[in-house]
Amino acid sequence: MWKKNIENARRSWLARPSVTPSTDVEWAAVQPLLPRAAVDGAYDRTTLMDKAATLDFVVEVVRRHEQQTGFAVPPRRWVVERTFGWMVRWRRLVRDYEPRADVSEAMIHIAMSGLLLRRIAHP
């Protein structure tokens, strides 16, 4: 199994997908290609902060308020969920059947390229 992480640019475009083995810890899979990364509490690790300082990017850890009870959607979470929703419209991305991570990542690129071409052709 593979974990799919996506990095979105400021204008909600898919900047770069990354596919990592599910045995890896998610915070170890973060690759800073953007100047700012908004991550959830699972990414709050000292190694990530050290890497952020070394590579000169800002990490914003989104946490719940202390008075909050129940579920609340974190800010800008809809961008990530919308992108995953677009990706699962492609049959090969509904379930991860690919034995290799590079093939799975290529399928994500093909799916997003098709979406982009459709939007360019029919604005």
Residue range 24-50: mean pLDDT, rounded: 60
Buried b (16+ CB within 10 A) or exposed e, 26-60: eeeebebeeeebbbeeebebeebeebbeeeeeebe
Q: Domains of the chain (ranges plus CATH)?
A: 2-121 (3.30.420)
Q: Are strands 58-61 and 14-21 parallel, antiparallel or unpaired?
A: unpaired
* pTM reported for the whole predicted model: 0.52
pLDDT at 48: 72
- Beta-bridge partner residues of 38: 60
Which residues, listed in sequence order, are joined to residue 6 by a DSSP beta bridge? 17
6-15, 46-55, 62-71: least confidently modelled range: 6-15
Model pLDDT, residue 27: 47
